[in-house]
Each structure stands twice: as structure tokens, then as C-alpha cells.
Structure 1
Amino acid sequence: MSTNVPLWVWAITLVAILGLLAFDFFFHVRQAHEPTLREATIWSAFYVGVAIAFGIILLIFGGTTMGVEYFSGYLLEKALSVDNLFVFLVIISSFAVPRVDQQKVLLFGIVFALIARSGFIFAGKAMIDNFTWTFYLFGLILIVTAGKLLAPEKEGDSGDADNFIIRLAKRFLHTTDHYDGDKLFTYENGRRVLTPMLLVMVAIGGTDILFALDSIPAIYAVTTNVYIVFTATAFSLMGLRQLYFLIDGLLDRLVYLKYGLSIILGFIGVKLVLEALHTNQLPFINDGEHVNVFTFDAYTSLPVIVGVLTITVVASLVSPKGKLMAAVRRVERLANGYLTHDYEGDPVERAAKYEAMLAAQNSLLRFDRVKVDAMMEEVGANWAIEKAERAHAEATGN
């Protein structure tokens, strides 16, 4: 198999990917339910296994270089996809999407991401083939992105769902404030209206486009083989829905992941700039001649990506800060869940949800009080708890 992959190979690959997406929808998502930990684990392992099996096939039939480039790209895109889950979590929490209906939102996000990234992949390939300065541009994008990951988050930067796109949608579309299962349309006062489910999908779709602007330049630093770029991206997105439910409780503990991604993106950005200098044809740089600089190959990228991700993930999981963040975020989500749930006059369910919030609050007693207060203030959990307490007092008369 050469770098010019035959059309029949492309056709088989596309049919396999579409088949997996169709299987996911008809057998897992069509019937709304909350996946169990066992279900999420099995299917996450399945999709990782499929990605590894595909990489082994590339190693056998395409050669070592293609295999190494694929696994480097897959790991890079998988890490960036996990970072996407943080924003998905914020959006889903902001819109208070019922747990049983979250699978449909996530599958839509994956399909939209695959479509958006496919467009950027082929656009990026066209730029690389026709413009000699493309690697300079890609490298600069990644270096700037790496710097932004290290910058302190400003209020509203963490994925506020009430963004420009959502405000437009709310203004021009007739939407209700209540969900009707996972339906996009429902009837209210005899009128057919849109449910908030559509707004959630619009928010996730909008963020996917922004993610593609970072992920595609990053993987083109690993390889310029468009087939490897596409398959590594596609397989990294497959199983992301199951991974969301599998590591839902661990996402908040990955407090150092953004630093690891910053190092990786910075490294890849520098790698692209060095490659651009090495093949330079711009007249205002070294009179249009190639610059004799050191460049990194695919065999260097893979251990760097693996090493940095391993260190940052392990450091996050053993970090006291990560454990505290996960505990505080859980309290916040339970408080918001109490506020947004439609109890339909069921006092037992209301009491159960309130008790769950109180139990999560009590779990914070094992941490340092000063650090807890600071973290609660940082994520806005105090406000959610106070509002939930007032709502519960009004509903129960206590």
C-alpha cells in the first residue's frame, strides 16, 4: 500500500466507519437509556480494539512508517478528543440534559465532528499541496493554542452554552424550556415547537468546528498522508460516546491534562515550523532557499506524545487537587440537577435528589476547608447549592 491509497480501500474504510456509526445508533442510542459502567467499558474497549486492529493492518500492508504515523495521529487525536469531552460535559450540564438522553447528543456531536474534520482534512491537504507557507501557518496556530491552554481561564471561557449561536437560535426558533425525551420537536399549547435538545446539538456542533481548527493542523504535523489523517481522526472519535460515560467521574480529575496537551501542541508546532524552514521556498526567508535545521520524524513524535500523556494523566489521578476538583464538581452537578429536574409532584424523588446532594457535600469534609471554599467559589458551586437549598425549602415548607 503506497501513500496514494486506492479508491477501493477508501470505499471499504468509509463503509466500515458508516456501518459502525449506524450500529451505534440503532443498537445503543435509538432506545434512550443510561449506559451502565459495564456497557460503557465493553464498548469503549471494542472501539479501541478496532482502532488498534486497523493500525496493525496498516503496519502489515502499508509498512512501518504508515503504522507509526497512524498510531501517533490516533493517540494525538484521542487526547484532543478527551479534552473535547470537558466542553461537552459543560454544555450538557448547562442545558441540564437528562442522563438517559445524553447519548443522542453525544452521537450527534461525534457525527458532526467527523463531518467538520473531514472538510478541514481535505482543505488542509489542498493548502499543503498548493501553498508552501502552510506549515508556517499550522505551526503558528498550534504554538498560539499551546500558549492559550496555559493561560488562566477567564469567566465564561469554560464553555458557557449561552453563546452567540445559541442566542440566535433562541431568538429565531420557537423553543420550549422543557425536554420531551430525546425528541427535537414537541407540542406546547397546541403549537409544534423545538425542544432544548436542538439547542444542545447546535452548541456542541459549534464547538466541534473550533476543535477542528486545532486538531487538523496538529495531525498534519505527524503525517501528510490524507488517508492516515482521516482514519486516525475517525477512529479517535469512534467510541467517544462510551468513553464519556466510562470516565465521566474521572474527567474533573484530569487537572493536568491541559498542560500535557500544551506541551504536545507546542512540540508539534515547533516541529511544523522546523519542517517549513527545512523545505522553505518563501523568498523573504533565506532568499527562498532551504534552511539547514534539525527536523523530527514520525518515530520521534510517537514517544513524545505517549510519554507526555502518560505523565500528565498519572500525575492528575494521584493529585489531591484532582480529587478535590472531582468532588466539588460532583456537588455542583447534583445541585444543578436538583434545580432542573421536573419532579411532577413526586416528593420521594425530590427528597432522594436532595439527599444525594447533601451526601456529596459531606464528602468534602475530608478535604482542607480553605481549599474547598476556594474551589467551590471558583466553579460556582456555592451559588448552585444555595439556590437548591432555597428551592427545596420552598417545595417542602421546611
Structure 2
Amino acid sequence: MDVSAAVWWLTILGIVALLAFDFFFHVRQAHVPTLREAAVWSALYVGIALLFGVGVWWFGGSDAGTEYFAGYVTEKALSVDNLFVFLVIMGSFKVPRADQQKALLFGIVFSLLARTGFILVGAALINLFAWVFYVFGLILLLTAGNLLRPEGEESHSPDNLMVRVARRLLRTSDEYDGDKLFTVRDGRRVMTPMLLVMIAIGGTDILFALDSIPAIFGLTQNVYIVFTATAFSLLGLRQLYFLIDGLLDRLIYLSYGLAAILGFIGVKLILHALHENNVPFVNDGQPVKVVEISTGLSLTVIIGVLLVTVVASLASPRGRARNVVSVVRRHAQQYLDVEHDPEVREEIYRRLLAEEARLADLPPKHRDLAADERLVALLRRAHAEHDRA
């Protein structure tokens, strides 16, 4: 599919316009999005992405359309997994709920810029060296293996290299000043924790790009499709965060589904590399006759794996139990350390009591999840603080 420079510029301007609209009409004034607001705008952004895909199918043909939808679904699934890490970062830096939107939008913009750079580099390497497909395939297979490892929130430390450098070079305060990036303390202009949050999200976005870009290049080598599928998967991610953050811990099999998808695409890339082979020590530099996986089959496998993963996660009793425990912990932490507005704290406490009632009703075989000593101590602190208040 050939794309003219005019179409490229119109697409880029359209994406920038959507981001600007998101900032000026939703993020500029700090607030907590309602469930209805998050649902409506999430659906709107998904609808825009699907309509764009229909346009690609109409003007570019069925092959281009299939490649776009396969890339979009894969990148969207990886983006949902990224939201869990964003949730950890927000909790670690104790970002008030109303101020999280600006940090999330910055993360989306930074991620789009970083991935655009990786896309351009990846496309240049593919055009110059056919063996790059071997490298991309191995990266995805290694990533799939890492996703199968059990991990907790501790494995997603927000204190990455970029944050440590920022702390060392810049003066920082310990308190937020709304969603401002800088404030004045003792007559000196200092950086607020909000800027550190954005730096932490930006640092993790770079790591995410190392996985997502090889994955989509495994589905299509058309740079326009790679760019647009990646961009539209990121647009609306902020709204999706507020829509499903209470369900993220429920998706207990998501990492297994993503591992299967990335492993599948990794194998697809290696088969394609063998088919296009010119590496001297592989078959004397001659192409290897292997079966290649079609994009249509790839799209079917990706959607099928995601459906099985999500349905199995939502139907899992242990997933429901883990979700209740996570929500209880989050409400207690918000009440104690994050929110300071009395009305907001009282609302959080009411939610905490409701979730604790659900915690007490967990089946005996899942009560080990609620027996964690740190969780028990956290709840005691929350109740003691409420009694004092």
C-alpha cells in the first residue's frame, strides 16, 4: 500500500489534534473521570480506530486492512498490560486520583514519540538487513518467556535510571502542588513528585517499545500501518485506565495470553526470516523453503487467544478473590497516604468498608490472599486513622 506525503501529514495532524483535544478539554482541569465519562470516551477512541481501519481496508485492500487490525489488536493488548505498571507507578508515588490524568497523557505522548523513533529505526534496519527478522523474532520469544515468570508489583519498580538521574540533578519536593510540575519551597523553585512520575512512566515506555515494535513488524512491514496501528492503540489509553483499573488485577491470565501471542509472532518472524534468508551460515545464504503464516491466520489467533484469556480470567474464582484483595489494599493506601480532601477520604473509606465485607465472604480456599500481614497491618492503620478523624 503506497501512501502519499499528503496522507501522512493529514494522519499526523489528526493524531496531534486528538491529543490536543484530550488535553484542553479533559486533562487541563484536574478531576476524577466518572465511570460514564471514561466509558464514553474509551468507546469513542476505539470507534475512531476501527473506522480508520475500515478506511485502510477500503483504500488499501483486504491485505492492508487485515494487517492494520492485527497490529491494532496486538498493540492494544500490550497497552492494557502496560496499564498495570502505570498503576504500580501511581501507587508508589502516591499520586492523587484527580492528578493522575496529566501524568497518563504525558506517558501516552512520550510513548508515541519513542515508538515512532523505534519504528523508523526498525524500518531502516529491515530495508538494509534481512537478518533483522531473526533478531526481532528472538526478542519476542525471550519476551514471551519472561512474561511466563511469576512476578509481583515489586518487579515493576518506578525508581528506574531516569528517575534516579532526575533526583540527583534536580531539586525535588516531597509534596504535590496539584498537578503542577514545579513549585516554590522556601523561596526556591523545585520539582514536584509529579514530574518524577512522568519521568518514571517515560522510562518504562521505552522498555515497552522494545517489545511492541518487533511484535507489530512481525505482522506487517508497511511503515504507515505500523505507525497508525501503534498510535491508535495508545489514543484513549488514559480513559481506559480509569475504566478498567479496578479490573486489571482480575486479568490473572493476561500475561499468559500475551506470552502466547508474542511467541506466535516470534515464530512467524523467524519463519519469514528463513524464507527471505541471506545469512551465509544458514543454508549457505539461500532462502529456506518453509511454511509462512498468513496475516489472516495471525489475526484469528490473536483475537482467539485474547478472548480465551479474558473470559478465563473473569470466570476464575481466584481472579475475583485477588481483585477484591487488591482493591481493598488500594483503598486503604489512598485513604492513608494519597488523598487529603476530607470528603474524598470519607468516600474512599465507605468503599473500603464495602470491599472488606466482600473480603470476609471469600471462600476458605482463597482466604490465604487476605491473610497477608502487611495487608492486615494496613487495614488496622486505616481504621485507627478514621477513628481519630
Q: TM-score, with normalisation over the residues of structure 2?
A: 0.95
1:115: which partner in 2?
Answer: 113
**Does the aligned pair in 1 maintain the 2:254–2:310 contact within 8 Å?**
yes
**Does the aligned pair in 1 maintain the 2:73–2:303 contact within 8 Å?**
yes
1:60: which partner in 2?
Answer: 58
State how far apart, in whole Å, the 1-side matches of 2:107 and 2:322 are. 26
Uncovered stretches (5+) of structure 2, i.e. residues with no partner: none
Q: Secondary structure of 1:178's partner?
A: coil
Displacement of 1:350 in angstroms is: 5.4
Q: Secondary structure of 1:280's partner?
A: coil
**2:357 is aligned with 1:359:** no
AA paired with 1:138? Answer: F
State how far apart, in whole Å, the 2-side matches of 1:391 and 1:36 are. 25
Displacement of 1:297 in angstroms is: 1.3
Which stretches of structure 1, 4 residues or more, deviate above 3 A after TM superposition? 341-344, 348-356, 374-377, 390-398
State how far apart, in whole Å, the 1-side matches of 2:207 and 2:271 are. 25
Q: Map of 1:20-99 to 2, 5 A cutoff?
A: 20-99=18-97
1:383: which partner in 2?
Answer: 374
**2:384 is aligned with 1:393:** yes
AA paired with 1:247? Answer: I
Q: Deviations over 1:207-234 (max 9, x none)?
A: 0000000000000010000000000000
Distance 1:181 1:45, change over 3 A: same
The count of corresponding residues between Structure 1 and Structure 2 is 389
Percent identity, please.
60
Query: Which one of 197, 201, 217 corresponds to residue 200 of structure 1?
Result: 197
Displacement of 1:397 in angstroms is: 5.4
Q: Secondary structure of 2:38's partner?
A: helix
State how far apart, in whole Å, the 1-side matches of 2:257 and 2:345 are. 41
1:263: which partner in 2?
Answer: 260
State how far apart, in whole Å, the 2-side matches of 1:198 and 1:70 are. 34
Query: Which one of 232, 235, 239 corresponds to residue 232 of structure 2?
Result: 235
AA paired with 1:52? Answer: L
AA paired with 1:304? Answer: V
1:372: which partner in 2?
Answer: 367
Distance 1:267 1:164, change over 3 A: same
Distance 1:259 1:238, change over 3 A: same
Displacement of 1:172 in angstroms is: 2.5
**Does the aligned pair in 2 maintain the 1:335–1:385 contact within 8 Å?**
no
State how far apart, in whole Å, the 2-side matches of 1:349 and 1:25 are. 24
More moved, 357-366 vs 51-60: 357-366
State how far apart, in whole Å, the 2-side matches of 1:355 and 1:110 are. 32
**Does the aligned pair in 2 maintain the 1:280–1:290 contact within 8 Å?**
yes
Q: TM-score, with normalisation over the residues of structure 1?
A: 0.93
CA RMSD of aligned residues (A): 1.9
AA paired with 1:357? Answer: L
State how far apart, in whole Å, the 2-side matches of 1:123 and 1:59 are. 26
**Does the aligned pair in 1 maintain the 2:30–2:101 contact within 8 Å?**
yes
Uncovered stretches (5+) of structure 1, i.e. residues with no partner: none
Displacement of 1:104 in angstroms is: 0.6
Q: Deviations over 1:343-383 (max 9, x none)?
A: 47x5x765654454343222111213452334653xxxx42
Q: Secondary structure of 1:186's partner?
A: strand
Displacement of 1:164 in angstroms is: 3.4
State how far apart, in whole Å, the 1-side matches of 2:89 and 2:364 are. 29
State how far apart, in whole Å, the 1-side matches of 2:251 and 2:242 are. 15
